């Protein structure tokens, strides 16, 4: 399947074959593929929480409002978080790119210094706002990657973020929940959707 086909075939699917299992290895492959997304300064602020455990899903159920079928029947869900402390992980990336020979030791040390300077100027509000775009891009990548793996997905904004972070025991002051994505083998009739005419929403200048 090429990328255009994946884009055309993706639809938000709200019910899945609940017996269909996806291995942890394949989930990691999919996240690795989705993570090829671009991001501001390549800081990759997204963090993935893979939700599969039935006990945890039962605890989350009261907090997904109208999205219960996706929670109950998908093979797994991915909660995408925007890490406000993303600069703290920059040295890991810098070392990896140094070891891979993508940067010289001098370039690596200049980059580290620049990253530290940049970090000092950033507000939490700007990291929150900017990360939304990066996380949105990785989310779309993940849904297209799922299609490429023969799976369906549904992005969800309809969940109680505070309650989720509480159940998942994650620090909401550091990790901002962006979107929840269900993934599995789609079932049932599709609800087709249209788009506004492109000519209506495009300005040629
Ligand atoms: C940020 C965002 C939040 C969404 N939240 C929900 C949701 O909570 N529940 C749901 O069933 N669909 C949700 N959707 C899916 C949209 O309803 C869907 O993308 C839209 O109707 C177009 O349909 P399609 O994705 O099948 O093309 C969301 C989509 C986005 C991008």
* Sign of torsion over alpha carbons 90, 95, 100, 102: positive
The Cα 170–Cα 79 span in angstroms is 12
> What pTM was estimated for this model as a whole?
0.97
Which residue, by CA, sits nearest to atom 7 of ligand 1? 156
Hey, what CATH class is 3-85+129-189 in? alpha beta
| Domain boundaries of the chain, sorted by first residue | 3-85+129-189
* Nearest atom of ligand 1 to the alpha carbon of 11: 26
Ligand 1 pocket (Cβ < 6 Å) reads 11-12, 14, 67, 154-158, 179, 193
The Cα 53–Cα 69 span in angstroms is 16
Residue-level pLDDT, tens digit, the chain, 205 residues: 999 999 999 999 999 999 999 999 999 999 999 999 999 999 999 999 999 999 999 999 999 999 999 999 999 999 999 999 999 999 999 999 999 999 999 999 999 999 999 999 999 999 999 999 999 999 999 999 999 999 999 999 999 999 999 999 999 999 999 999 999 999 977 888 999 999 999 999 9
Which 3 state secondary structure label does DSSP give 190?
coil
- How do beta strands 46-51 and 76-83 pair? antiparallel
């Amino acid at each position: 399947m090429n990328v255009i086909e994946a884009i055309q075939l993706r639809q938000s699917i709200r019910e899945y074959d609940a017996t269909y299992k996806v291995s942890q290895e394949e989930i990691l492959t999919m996240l690795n593929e989705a993570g090829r997304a671009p991001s501001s300064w390549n800081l990759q602020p997204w963090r993935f929480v893979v939700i599969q455990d039935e006990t945890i899903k039962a605890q989350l159920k009261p907090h997904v409002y109208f999205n219960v079928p996706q929670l109950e029947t998908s093979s797994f869900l991915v909660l995408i978080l925007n890490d406000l402390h993303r600069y703290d992980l920059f040295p890991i990336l810098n070392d990896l790119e140094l070891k891979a020979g993508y940067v010289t030791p001098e370039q690596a040390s200049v980059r580290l210094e620049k990253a530290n300077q940049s970090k000092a100027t950033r507000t939490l509000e700007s990291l929150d706002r900017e990360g939304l775009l990066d996380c949105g891009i990785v989310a779309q990548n993940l849904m297209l990657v799922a299609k490429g793996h023969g799976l369906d997905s549904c992005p969800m904004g309809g969940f109680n973020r505070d309650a989720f972070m509480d159940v998942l025991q994650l620090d909401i002051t550091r990790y901002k929940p962006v979107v929840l994505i269900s993934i599995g083998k789609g079932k049932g009739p599709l609800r087709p959707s249209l788009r506004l005419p492109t000519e209506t929403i495009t300005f040629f200048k």
